[in-house]
Structure 1
């Protein structure tokens, strides 16, 4: 017999002719008895004959099906016939995790973070992602975007002191202190990083729109063009003397300028540099701040130099990029400096913060004023007002900036009158953001065009953790932030464990098979137009978010090895992979097998203009 489903498909509903429908409507009232016995309407006869015909066809089909062993030709059934017992699959269950082969293997099984830390020590290098239009994140590839972290083969087993990236050029300082450059803006004919400024023992970098600012260990500041052609054809510095005859510096063939301030006191030197698109700041060991024009296309004109009244027309005689001390900051021992595209922030040892430059998006922390878009003198930020009514005393601990956004890290605590003057109640560590946030780069979970009043970033504010080593609850601070033009990353200073190895115990205690390494939490947020967040997707993220481990292929292999083979493991492996996240390795002295020696190294993150990198730093 045909099933109900088959019968319904074999007997389609026959629509009534419109004339018959109108006839029914016209005679909807009861007819007189004499008329009710009259001959049926012609359309009624046709409908009855149609129903009888269809019924006969269905009956014939059912009989044919029964005579042929319930086999149906064509597409009568909507689903496959039930399988025979011999075709039924045997149920398979997820296999248990495989047995560990050693204590170290057991740590790898129970902790993805342990594997990440170990691999960062065993395979130092650079992971990069984002825009590849200038062949920066993947110099040997013509791909437009690198959607997830990918290693740059040139830097395999290479340790760096610093790295800075733009969509069109990249710059790095190797372990010896030499400058490496690559990218389309450097040279269209060069596909690998090339040494340029050498023999200066460089320690850190900053980049403007078209120049590179480099700081040496001795405190000298160098400014050189990004373009290789300009380096080779531009004016060369005077030849440096050497006690070895006929031995000159290889950098004498490179065009560069020395921008070290001339009026430093005895023993004073530049300790930190930071650059925007057109300006740069220099911080000295005495807490003084100098500024100068770091680009060659446009002279800073939005007050970001911090010198009231300084313009291209009013600049003093001499080089256009001569350093100028920001005299307004004298008497405030500055500890930290930061620069955005066209604005600057500084903070001193007493917990005060100052800002100056462009305020068109509220990135200085002051109310937007259409008649005064720029502030050319350092102005004190009213940070204590952020804690009004809480009886907490606030102190700025650091400043960060990039693009048109700014960030402050503040520690606040209530004074304890019953304790000594040097003691307070529990310290609360907060992060505040202000400026342009239309693509989520403020990290507050909102899409804000202009945020002139600092707003707290919930992800990094009011966090605490228990420190087992000190048996106390401590605030979770930020280790540092890296702010790109429209996206950012933050590394939390949470308690990490990087002392577990087969030969040494954990914090001096006996080593157990369940002791594992883990690093610091790192999150990304903001604009993702060029896949610079590393999520593999293009959607912006207004809230700080984790990404997958850098070496996803190795993570997949680890998960497959841990789970073994068998049905259902792919689903379980995916579920386990989603539980893991990238954790960045803090500084630790380790032996690097590829280098054959022990070094103090860590992983660092760098956000640039539409690009991001994580590198092994010394």
Structure 2
């Protein structure tokens, strides 16, 4: 029994030492597959998918176990480079490694390297800060520039495109689609000029320095250049009123001529008074005589049933009916100015009176507080002087507390379409009437769009305080003078003179403007619908010229300003006998007389008058170039010039309604 157990254990031990024999067994085998061909075997293969976008197990393995590149420790590399650079320094080459001298030199190199590194770091930080500051400044400048470009896009576009749109030069256009045809080339300008300067016009040309007369241009005759009216050749005139359909001329003798549609030549009016000034307002033509009388007569195109002719008696007592009537104004009148439906008069005593000139007036407060625009029940009398008591008088409070009424004296008056502006002897500016565009100089709101009560808007102190940057530092109210006030349809102007305290011989002038400037008539380099705060015409500041007589630079003052409905002319007071003229505002009808129809918001020079000699041996192209050159051929009005017959004369330019005129007056 025991021996059998021992033998069994030995057998198990022996078998455990022997390697196991593996018998391969093929599962699911088909004996018939052994006889298949290669083509049949390939057809029987099955494609296995290991997931989306993985065709093989190798692709799956690449996604699961990507190749990991050896990472570089930047700090270790920098440290290695740092130590290597120091250990390779030439100053350590002659020292024994590990010696005290070696360690000291190594320490010095390390400290030097640290200082240099700190210096480089500070420089880097400074550069980064400067980049940040520069980027910030660039962003701010860019934002401001973008805002300015956006706000002034139309102006910039016009300024940039003006050289292309209104360029004068030979055209290189080959067909109608060429963009060069949009330029005002010489040939195109010459064609338009030829349509205006026809044979009849050229035949009527006279030498402007020898033959006095009258030039008109604008909507009245459809011309963009001053054209002579042969009827007035040789005449010296006092005043001219011009509009698109009506022309009134006062000759040197005080006789009045009128010309309107239906008349072949100007007609002499039967007015037996010596007239010096004419105005048209409402239904009537108003005339101011040398004696200070204001008379009126119906306009030819208006039939007024309310007009009653004046009846007078001669020395024999015979009654005669005149063609005019007289406005009863207290005292003699020295100046009149017309609005749309009212007339503003300045008496020789310095009183201001308003006159209604229409049977159906539009009341905007221009008639004063006695005829409020809010009270429609009150009828405004026609052709009756209205005394504005609150304006012509002022209340004076004395030191003892007593009060008294003092008469206020005015020096200049002007009437706009529906408002008035006046200047008193103390240099204060008063306005009343319509204020829809700020023409009264009052900040516009719903309460003061109509201003029937006269209000003081400016004084000498206000002018000095508001425009001190443009005036001498030491200028005072004693050095300041209000020369004149003027008015357009919806705009106001104030001509101010001052004397420089440092040089009392230098008399300088500035022009203030406010109101409607949508056509550029304010002359402040902008187009504004509403401008209630007075603006200064900066283009007229600091004008100088070389005076050959004095052999020095002298200031150029302002001789006169003529204001039309939406444009004006500024006549400069140059030294000598020629006075330059500048134009501002609307020019749609050619009322500037420069051959163009382009409005301007700053004063521009005009071409000189066309003379007969301009057509002698010259081509139209040279004439056009001469008209376009306002630098050497600019308009200069005669002043103090003697005619061949010995008469001293001056030329005067007048701005009217969409039209203008130039006439000769005895100086």
TM-score interval, smaller chain: 0.5 to 0.7
- Counterpart selection for 2:325 from 219, 240, 257: 257
- Counterpart selection for 2:364 from 282, 285, 302: 302
CA contact (8 A) 2:594 2:607 kept: yes
Instruction: Give the equivalent residue in structure 1 for 2:593.
Output: 534
- Counterpart selection for 2:582 from 523, 526, 529: 523
Instruction: Give the equivalent residue in structure 2 for 1:372.
Output: 448
CA contact (8 A) 1:362 1:452 kept: yes
Instruction: Give the equivalent residue in structure 1 for 2:658.
Output: 610
2:461 aligned with 1:385: no
SS in structure 2 opposite 1:452?
coil
Taking a change above 3 Å as real, the CA distance of residues 553 and 230 of structure 1, as seen in their structure-2 partners, is: same
Taking a change above 3 Å as real, the CA distance of residues 288 and 578 of structure 1, as seen in their structure-2 partners, is: closer
2:432 aligned with 1:349: no
Residue 167 (structure 1) shift? 1.1
- Counterpart selection for 1:397 from 469, 479, 483: 483
Taking a change above 3 Å as real, the CA distance of residues 296 and 569 of structure 1, as seen in their structure-2 partners, is: closer
Deviation string, structure 1 residues 78-126 (Cα, Å, up to 9, x no partner): xxxxxxxxxxxxxxxxxxxxxxxxxxxxxxxxxxxxxxxx933411111
Residue 475 (structure 1) shift? 3.9
Q: Which runs of structure 2 are paired with 1:248-327 in the superposition (5 Å)?
A: 252-254=321-323, 256-262=324-330, 264=331, 269-299=332-362, 301-310=363-372, 319-327=381-389
Residue 433 (structure 1) shift? 1.1
Taking a change above 3 Å as real, the CA distance of residues 279 and 552 of structure 1, as seen in their structure-2 partners, is: same
In the aligned structure 2, how far is the partner of 1:474 from the partner of 1:583? 18
SS in structure 2 opposite 1:119?
coil
Moved more, 216-225 or 189-198: 189-198
In the aligned structure 2, how far is the partner of 1:432 from the partner of 1:556? 41
Deviation string, structure 1 residues 444-485 (Cα, Å, up to 9, x no partner): 221111111111112222334465656776543221111111
Moved more, 457-466 or 204-213: 457-466
CA contact (8 A) 1:202 1:215 kept: yes
Instruction: Give the equivalent residue in structure 2 for 1:240.
Output: 313
Deviation string, structure 1 residues 321-356 (Cα, Å, up to 9, x no partner): 210223213333211111111111111233222222
Unaligned runs of 5+ in 2: 1-205, 394-406
CA contact (8 A) 2:283 2:304 kept: no
Taking a change above 3 Å as real, the CA distance of residues 549 and 242 of structure 1, as seen in their structure-2 partners, is: farther
Instruction: Tell which structure's C-alpha radius of gyration is larger.
Output: 2
In the aligned structure 2, how far is the partner of 1:602 from the partner of 1:219? 24
2:511 aligned with 1:435: no
Instruction: Give the equivalent residue in structure 1 for 2:571.
Output: 491
Q: Larger relative CO (CA 8 A, sep 6+): 1 or 2?
A: 1
Deviation string, structure 1 residues 164-207 (Cα, Å, up to 9, x no partner): 011121111122212111113xxxx3122111242211111111
- Counterpart selection for 2:636 from 583, 592, 598: 583
| Structure 1 vs Structure 2 CA RMSD | 3.2
Residue 309 (structure 1) shift? 4.1
Instruction: Give the equivalent residue in structure 2 for 1:338.
Output: 414
Taking a change above 3 Å as real, the CA distance of residues 493 and 572 of structure 1, as seen in their structure-2 partners, is: closer
In the aligned structure 2, how far is the partner of 1:558 from the partner of 1:284? 55
Deviation string, structure 1 residues 380-435 (Cα, Å, up to 9, x no partner): 2233432357553343221111111111112345657xxxxxx9695542111111
SS in structure 1 opposite 2:466?
helix
Instruction: Give the equivalent residue in structure 1 for 2:439.
Output: 363
Taking a change above 3 Å as real, the CA distance of residues 607 and 414 of structure 1, as seen in their structure-2 partners, is: closer
SS in structure 1 opposite 2:534?
strand
Taking a change above 3 Å as real, the CA distance of residues 210 and 574 of structure 1, as seen in their structure-2 partners, is: closer
SS in structure 2 opposite 1:579?
coil
Instruction: Give the equivalent residue in structure 2 for 1:141.
Output: none
More helix per residue: 1 or 2? 2
SS in structure 2 opposite 1:122?
coil
In the aligned structure 2, how far is the partner of 1:480 from the partner of 1:574? 24
SS in structure 2 opposite 1:448?
coil
In the aligned structure 2, how far is the partner of 1:233 from the partner of 1:293? 13
Instruction: Give the equivalent residue in structure 2 for 1:222.
Output: 295
In the aligned structure 2, how far is the partner of 1:309 from the partner of 1:440? 33
In the aligned structure 1, how far is the partner of 2:622 from the partner of 2:415? 49
CA contact (8 A) 1:489 1:605 kept: yes
- Counterpart selection for 1:129 from 217, 220, 236: 217
Deviation string, structure 1 residues 279-305 (Cα, Å, up to 9, x no partner): 111111111111111234425x11223
CA contact (8 A) 1:407 1:431 kept: yes
Paired residues in the alignment total 436
Taking a change above 3 Å as real, the CA distance of residues 207 and 227 of structure 1, as seen in their structure-2 partners, is: same
CA contact (8 A) 2:431 2:440 kept: yes
CA contact (8 A) 1:549 1:555 kept: no
Residue 559 (structure 1) shift? 7.4
In the aligned structure 2, how far is the partner of 1:533 from the partner of 1:569? 21
Taking a change above 3 Å as real, the CA distance of residues 339 and 570 of structure 1, as seen in their structure-2 partners, is: closer
2:285 aligned with 1:205: no
- Counterpart selection for 1:543 from 602, 608, 611: 602
2:550 aligned with 1:462: no
Taking a change above 3 Å as real, the CA distance of residues 279 and 385 of structure 1, as seen in their structure-2 partners, is: farther
Residue 578 (structure 1) shift? 5.9
In the aligned structure 1, how far is the partner of 2:627 from the partner of 2:308? 58
In the aligned structure 2, how far is the partner of 1:574 from the partner of 1:613? 18
Q: Which runs of structure 2 are paired with 1:77-116 in the superposition (5 Å)?
A: none
Q: TM-score, length-normalised on structure 1?
A: 0.64
CA contact (8 A) 1:277 1:341 kept: yes
Instruction: Give the equivalent residue in structure 1 for 2:253.
Output: 176
In the aligned structure 2, how far is the partner of 1:443 from the partner of 1:366? 19
